Structure 1
Amino acid sequence: MAALVLRREVSAVELVTAALARLEAVDARLRAFTRTWPERALESARAVDRSVARGARPPLAGVPIGVKAWARSQAAQTGRLERAGCVVLGSTSVPLGHTDWQTWGHTDRGPTVNPWRSDRTPGGSSAGSAAAVAAGIVPLATGSDGAGSLRIPAAWCGVVGLKPTNRRLPAADRAGLAALGAVTGTVRDAALHLSVMLDEDFGVPGGGRPVRAVWSASLGFAGVDAEQAAIARAAVGRLEEAGAITLRPRDVRLLNPEPVWRSLRAGEADPDARSVREANDEGLAALFGEAEVLLTPATPTPPHGHQGPGEAMTVDLTWAFNVSGHPAVSVPAGLSAAGLPVGLQAVAAHGGEALLLRVAAALEAVAPAPRPPL
């Protein structure tokens, strides 16, 4: 999109008009947006076209985006994307208040639905962002990830969700658990987003020597649905067959990070939680001394209904890396027998976002993600 605008083959106004038309066509059912600003979006698009006509070269010229509705935590990210040429269509849904696992997207019109099946949630808390990207309204929507809030909805909606290394991007979270990021339709767009946010060139991910990888279905403690694990493991096999990774046998046994996450969120000094954190930090340091990437299912369960997850811990495979700060990405791995997306999570050492993008791009190349029938 940006390349077309910069070559003046398509205007930013045309792109935004098309995105608003798609939003109008599907969001009555999807409920991905809490508010939209069409007039403001078109005026912003006209401003982008004027700047391009004067010779400006913003890297995301005219790209329509959604922004996660928690405005204060998203302000820095949104401002940077707008300066890069993005045009905000509106705010995407988040949970009402603070439900325990942040899996619902709330709007005044009802809950946000999963684009693949309306009786299922898209996950959260970046619920509307993932749904909007999966439905083809926007190619990118902002989010944040404090326990899996980018990776879980990306997995359940069949798109890409990257949590950078904690604190690489400023996030309004005193506990240090949350990281700003985005949901995108492709790995290349995830790389472009990160390039803009970090002012580094992540280029077009792909190629290079095989990456040393370790697989774990459960991290040693999580209860994981057998089908979720099997589909994610099959994706690992495709990466291995393509020569993108060399898989190393290794037993991965972390301790359940729940007490650590909760004590950090509450700002408490809990000796038991501190010992769990130290043990996991040591285990991950040893793992990344031997391998470059850890691969797991992105979620332990498939998307649940709007009544909630029941006893399932949807964050089991993600929140350890909010505590440890490691970068992690969910990339589509395939569809379940029920026709619902499954994500593969890749985790790397601190600062290893480029490596994650490379592995994710390799999977995308051998197993392109399908799109929901909207």
Structure 2
Amino acid sequence: MSGREDGPRAPASVAGIASAVRGGRRRAVDVVAEALERIGRVDPVLCAFLEVWGEEALRRADEVDARVAAGERLPLAGVPVAVKGRHGLRAAEPLLAAGGVAVGATSVPGPRTPWQTWGLGAHGRTVNPWRADRTPGGSSAGAAVAVAAGLVPLATGGDGAGSVRIPAAWCGTVGLKVTNGRLPSADRTGLAAPGVLTRTASDAAAWWRVVSGRPIAAEPPAAFPVPAHWSPDLGFADPAPEPVALARTAADRLVDTGVVRLVRPSSPPRLLDPAPAWLALRAPGADPADAHRIRAENDRRLDDLFARADLLITPTTPTAPHGHDGPGEVYSTALTWAFNVSGHPALSLPAGFGADGCPAGLQLVAPRGREDLLLAVAAEAERRGGAPTG
């Protein structure tokens, strides 16, 4: 798969699958069998999966059909779900309880990989579904590829420095990282937060309602246009011109369609480079004093920023997808990991295509605990045509 004409195709939506299974128009076992057939046919090329759980998935799907027949109203009835890595089932338990069916474990970076924007599946290195000579990003590499290629409509991820948002940007999907600490995470540093990769904002919202336990009626509507700050570099990064231009064009579409209103600050948003803080917090035995200083100052600046606008908008990544030999000297995390240190929720939306034929992303950041705002803005952008899809 490569280029825009023969690139990934969209599967049925989460809501569409669940509605059809609940209404008796589809059987979960047939939906899951079709997903497994797609995976078997396409994954030897894409290498998105470490393991495929065919027999178990069909057994679970049959159980979902029985639960539906017994009258259970399952919000994810029959939805094929991919989980990040071999140990991702525990994080997916709320999805399975809601009727989702885990079909396999997606690829993550292999052993002895010094950088995380890469993946190694059962059949070899994970490739970008738009260009096989480029990486899909990572570490939720296979998750992004599985969604972008239409193998599943929803895949779980984990984001410690941009590991959901970067592959979402480079594969042309929606990628949400939740507020740090709001959902369980095994990361001892507190930098990592769960997340999800989907084709649409409504599918991401379906995931959020299940894992957060918030009913649809509890989602507060956003008043549009939402005031937002734009920053191409957060005051410290050195992004390449093309990702910035694509993101700015995408931000301007949000303005033109009335989804956001850009606030003109007296000075542009500026944060301290979070790299020293992130690295110190990750390193066992490191003195955290400087990390805490950087975190406190950036928290102060972000509090001031969000006192004047509801959103911060940036490019998701500083570069286009790199080759399989590595990212070079530029940290692919330059524009994402500040919000792992600060804990703010962030979402990557598709932002069009670069000259290399690969997607780029637009990052939306909201105050802590405002996942609902991110999802509402993303959904409205899709509804009004302000967000291109992969």
Structure 2 stretches of 5 or more lacking a match? 1-16
TM-score if structure 1 supplies the norm length? 0.95
Aligned pair partner of 2:35 in 5, 19, 28: 19
Number of equivalences: 369
Task: Determine if contact 2:92/2:156 at 8 Å carries over to the other structure.
Answer: yes
Q: Which residue of 1 aligns with 2:235?
A: 220
Task: Determine if contact 2:50/2:86 at 8 Å carries over to the other structure.
Answer: no
Q: Which residue of 2 aligns with 1:10?
A: 26
Aligned pair partner of 1:312 in 330, 336, 341: 330
C-alpha deviation, 1:14, in angstroms = 1.1
Task: Determine if contact 1:212/1:293 at 8 Å carries over to the other structure.
Answer: yes
TM-score if structure 2 supplies the norm length? 0.92
C-alpha deviation, 1:369, in angstroms = 3.6
Aligned pair partner of 1:194 in 171, 196, 208: 208
CA separation in 1, counterparts of 2:288 and 2:35?
48
Q: Which residue of 2 aligns with 1:36?
A: 52
Aligned pair partner of 2:160 in 146, 151, 155: 146
Per-residue CA shift, 1:294-346, capped at 9, x if unaligned?
00000000000000001011000000000000000001011112211010000
Q: Which residue of 1 aligns with 2:184?
A: 170
C-alpha deviation, 1:31, in angstroms = 0.3
Q: Which residue of 2 aligns with 1:69?
A: 85
Which residue type is aligned with residue 246 of structure 2?
A: I
* Cα RMSD for the two superposed structures: 1.5
C-alpha deviation, 1:201, in angstroms = 2.6
Identical residues among aligned pairs (%): 53
Q: Which residue of 2 aligns with 1:248?
A: 263
CA separation in 2, counterparts of 1:208 and 1:76?
36
Aligned pair partner of 2:296 in 256, 264, 278: 278
Task: Determine if contact 1:191/1:202 at 8 Å carries over to the other structure.
Answer: no
Structure 1 stretches of 5 or more lacking a match? none
Runs (4 or more) in structure 1 with deviation over 4 Å come to: 202-207
C-alpha deviation, 1:92, in angstroms = 0.2
Change (3 A) 1:342 1:97: same
Aligned pair partner of 1:263 in 247, 259, 280: 280
C-alpha deviation, 1:97, in angstroms = 3.1
C-alpha deviation, 1:17, in angstroms = 1.0
Tell me the secondary structure at the aligned position of residue 343 of structure 1.
Answer: strand
Which residue type is aligned with residue 279 of structure 2?
A: R
Change (3 A) 1:282 1:370: closer
Aligned pair partner of 1:60 in 76, 87, 91: 76
CA separation in 1, counterparts of 2:72 and 2:161?
38
1:295 aligns with 2:313: yes
C-alpha deviation, 1:276, in angstroms = 1.6
Task: Determine if contact 2:352/2:361 at 8 Å carries over to the other structure.
Answer: yes
Which residue type is aligned with residue 252 of structure 1?
A: P
C-alpha deviation, 1:207, in angstroms = 6.2
Aligned pair partner of 1:363 in 351, 374, 381: 381
State how 1:65-144 maps to structure 2 within 5 Å: 65-71=81-87, 74-97=88-111, 99-144=113-158
CA separation in 2, counterparts of 1:205 and 1:291?
17
Task: Determine if contact 1:202/1:354 at 8 Å carries over to the other structure.
Answer: no
C-alpha deviation, 1:98, in angstroms = 6.1
CA separation in 1, counterparts of 2:157 and 2:220?
22
CA separation in 2, counterparts of 1:222 and 1:127?
24
Per-residue CA shift, 1:242-278, capped at 9, x if unaligned?
1111101231111110111111112533332222222
C-alpha deviation, 1:101, in angstroms = 3.3
Task: Determine if contact 1:119/1:306 at 8 Å carries over to the other structure.
Answer: yes
Tell me the secondary structure at the aligned position of residue 66 of structure 1.
Answer: strand
State how 1:340-359 maps to structure 2 within 5 Å: 340-359=358-377
1:230 aligns with 2:248: no
Per-residue CA shift, 1:188-233, capped at 9, x if unaligned?
0100100000000356897633111000000001110111001111
Change (3 A) 1:205 1:45: farther
Which residue type is aligned with residue 193 of structure 1?
A: W
1:336 aligns with 2:350: no
Which residue type is aligned with residue 62 of structure 2?
A: R
Which residue type is aligned with residue 191 of structure 2?
A: L
Change (3 A) 1:362 1:313: same
Change (3 A) 1:206 1:18: farther
Task: Determine if contact 1:206/1:362 at 8 Å carries over to the other structure.
Answer: no
CA separation in 1, counterparts of 2:340 and 2:25?
42
Q: Which residue of 2 aligns with 1:211?
A: 226
